[in-house]
Chain A
């Protein structure tokens, strides 16, 4: 099998994998980036959300063979010091309960803010509705997205 080249968190990597392997498992089992979570494997829950060329993408349903040469950002690469506005807002609002879905939530939020710096409530819900939180932290997530937007605009 030919090697598959990707850029992950600004680092060039080469994977010797079955091209059908979902990006999720390439990240978790082969690149040891376990921040991206496995929730459903079918694109229903968003726990595995990463950025593919800046766009929020479900890593569980993205075969690595289909994304050769492209740029991936995971929660580990979202910011240098864990200080992306979404990350700061999530901590400040005390969003996490179990915390398992939150990396995916934050990646969806970051992608939203990159294209819509000041989202309306409807835009927030539309962008975040694909991310399930089993603990039901939605009220705080909504507040955190709003806070993150205000942090970005005040920078």
Chain B
């Protein structure tokens, strides 16, 4: 997990990634809404000149809540307003949600690292509670009774002693004239009526009726459509452009060269073809003849990367942690496993391809699109165009899938550059081929893990080497190359990069070493859902399973032994939900019980277990599989059932949590079996979903049984935590059934398919 400090450091270095720190010095104000109702606002210091519109309560009882965070399927537009409505004691059926534009008055917009609920939990509940107190104050004044004698439920203020009651709407105008109570207490969780229940997505009706919601649906009068040609080789740039044929394509209007910025995560160079329609823009781009300077990485390939990885594994340049005497312990161990793992580049493959619309009028830029990080989109656009940040206006639409891709805002910068060049509105859009070939991929990696148990079967030695493309290096971040590739994933399952060394202490493995190295590469890399965790958890969790099997011990016991104790874990000051091994222990034990792990599976089937801690949440899966022979010696894996347990603190929206569990499991399985972007001649060779294969309905688990620990602890996010443990759970089940240990992704390269 990354701390707020990391994020601020990112901002200082102009590196736009992960979450944005949110200002939380604020106070609440009220005012009269244009409708005659009550407007609850939050004023942030020191930047805001205007109150923030957060809630409006109308005389007819309707409540409008502005949602300031982007929605990409993780449910923010439902679960965040739920926090407000809960404390307001509003009736959910009378609540309407509207999008807030990017505005500093909202104190920080953008979500990442599964942090939406985690970051807004306090502020949104507080504003809801304050609004409720304002309404109580208005009723108390009207009835001339003490506010302390009044209570609320379901949109009504009551004074039980006199039996009087008033609807919220009838109190709104009066509440707007009263002073705002400070330090309003929050609800006791035992009184929650919304939080912890199943609430359907706010926009479900709009989604199922095909209403325009997404970036790709934005339409402006007389807008153009543009597609950008980029050098097929990473880090290349255009040298000579022959647009003669492109201009002959009917509907093509203009060619715009994009210079790119020195940091390719902000904007890559390219050539935009501007046309009257998307189809004409694509055809025009196909007709461009560009001579490229392919740059220094034109010979790069899977093979050349593997060669570099192997050299790093043989002589790792950086030792990140070293405790005890690892070499001696390995020599003394009764059983040693020595495994090498490999992981390919993987694409985000958001189903909505990258696109963004920009309009340039009177020196100002209006950006509207599937933007996950509105604040960094604004600064990136300003840098790319030279337009002052204050003149860049950003509105995020619903996002057709993120998975990490839209932490970057390169596509917004492209749209802005083209809009400024043509002096009008344009949507820049990529097709699937372009989107796959110019993604910022999950870094490829090779790892070696040697681990040993003593004669009693206790893990005494652990020697892990990670050789991985570093997305920190790719984005020109001056911090250590390792920091994006190791964080929070390690055996200690703990939090921050800076504390890596300390974080490894609480594990019960007395002799442990972690070393790291990164290859020289031009391949574009970025955060991919549960970055680093997905690959590192695979190595760690399959190795523990293998050690247990070799030592004839229960893999549950082996995991429990190295969890450590709560008291041993150093607490990070800026983390409100520090890692607690006791919570992981409970999740493990419950999933073992519910999933029947360790008990005999039905004939021809086997079970596998894995667990992991990511972004403050704890998750473990037990999968049950069978394997049937396929053609050409292939092995067809059926996943009959996944039983999952997670501890996310106080669950907020159970429907959304269950959906993330299902989706995370399915995404994690699909990526493990199929996800690979091969590199040849310096370029990505994936073309479309024919060769970059995504998991389909037939291949998904037949049943997913998701359980969430009942908890009153501060909630943590769940967009990513289901992923890291699912692939190792499947691999461990395959090993239990066949004896074959899987040590690479994608599994299909070993002949394993889903059926």
Contact = CB atoms under 8 A, between A and B. Distances in A.
Contacts of A53: none
A134 B349 contact: yes
Contacts of A72: none
A97 B210 contact: no
A136 B398 contact: no
A96 B210 contact: no
Q: Of A22, A40, A41, A101, which is in contact with the most chain B CB atoms at under 10 Å from its CB?
A: A40
Interface string A28-54: 111011111111111011010000000
Nearest to B200: A94
Contacts of A129: 696-698
Interface stretch (B213-221, B377-385, B545-553, B738-746): B213-221
B400 to A, nearest CB: 3
A40 B662 CA distance: 24
Contacts of B225: 29
A136 B278 contact: no
A97 to B, nearest CB: 3
A91 B433 CA distance: 32
B575 to A, nearest CB: 27
**CB-CB nearest 5 A-B residue pairs:** A35-B210, A136-B666, A100-B400, A98-B73, A75-B210
A14 interface: no
B73 A99 contact: yes
B141 interface: no
Interface string B196-227: 00101101110111111110110100000100
B400 A98 contact: yes
Contacts of B697: 125, 128-129, 131, 133, 138, 141-142
B160 interface: no
A92 B402 CA distance: 24
B278 A97 contact: no
B216 A136 contact: no
B20 interface: no
A74 B211 CA distance: 12
Interface of B: 71-75, 198, 200-201, 203-205, 207-214, 216-217, 219, 225, 250, 277-279, 349-353, 398-403, 431-433, 655, 659-660, 662-667, 670, 688-690, 694-698, 700-701, 703-704
A25 B281 CA distance: 11
A41 B209 CA distance: 22
Nearest to B349: A134
A111 interface: no
Nearest to A130: B696
Given A94-B201, A125-B698, A129-B696, A100 B666 contact: no
B704 A82 contact: no
Contacts of B402: 98
Contacts of B216: 34, 37-38
Given A134-B694, A136-B700, A96 B201 contact: yes
B204 A90 contact: yes
A44 B688 contact: yes
8 contacts: A37-B352, A38-B352, A39-B689, A42-B432, A95-B204, A96-B207, A102-B207, A137-B663
Chain A at the B interface: SS class: loop
Interface of A: 18, 21-22, 25, 28-30, 32-42, 44-45, 47, 74-76, 82, 86-87, 90-92, 94-103, 106, 125, 128-142
B338 to A, nearest CB: 35
A141 B74 CA distance: 17
Interface centre among B278, B665, B697 (most CB of A within 10 A): B697
B278 A28 contact: yes
Nearest to B213: A99
B208 A132 contact: no
Nearest to B703: A139
B690 A44 contact: yes
Contacts of B219: 32, 34
Contacts of B352: 37-39, 98, 100
Given A25-B278, A87-B208, 6 more contacts: A97-B73, A99-B203, A101-B351, A134-B403, A135-B73, A136-B667
Nearest to B690: A44
A132 B279 contact: no
A91 B205 contact: yes
A96 B663 contact: no
| Most B CB within 10 A of own CB, among A29, A30, A125, A140 | A29
B471 to A, nearest CB: 21
B719 to A, nearest CB: 10
A137 B401 CA distance: 12
Contact of A42 (B201, B213, B277, B688): B688
